[in-house]
Amino acid sequence: MSADIEEKLDRLFAEARAGRPDTSAWEINFETRVMATIRERREAAVSWYALIWRMVPAFAVIAAITTVCSMTFTPAPSGDLFAAITTGQDEYMTTSFLTGE
């Protein structure tokens, strides 16, 4: 009995190996389906340069606020011609006196 079953299994496996699956249904419009899938994935993902262009107005507002604040809060210029040279001179003298240098 077991030899008969083994013989049937061998014939069944041989027929299965010899037969080719029918892939014609999968092959129809394969390229079209692949391109549609790629197009769909590209539309779903937002590229990094698109995000940068969307952020340009926000960066422009930040730059404008920074410019206005820097022009508004600048100290009045000194009439002393030597102010640029002597700025911080008092602190330097105090530090050198206290440290003994």
Whether residue 79 is predicted with pLDDT greater than 80 in this model: the reply is no
Q: Counting every residue, how long is the chain?
A: 101
Whether residue 88 is predicted with pLDDT greater than 80 in this model: the reply is no
- Indicate the domain borders of the chain: 2-99
| The two three-digit tokens of residue 47, written as one number | 């590229």
Global model pTM greater than 0.85: no
> For the residues 16-30, what does the mean pLDDT come to?
82
Torsion sign across C-alpha atoms 71, 75, 79, 85:
negative
**What is the reported pLDDT for 66?**
94
**For 45-49, 80-84, 89-93, which range has the lowest pLDDT when averaged over its residues?**
80-84
- Rg for the chain (alpha carbons), in Å? 41
Torsion sign across C-alpha atoms 68, 69, 71, 72:
positive
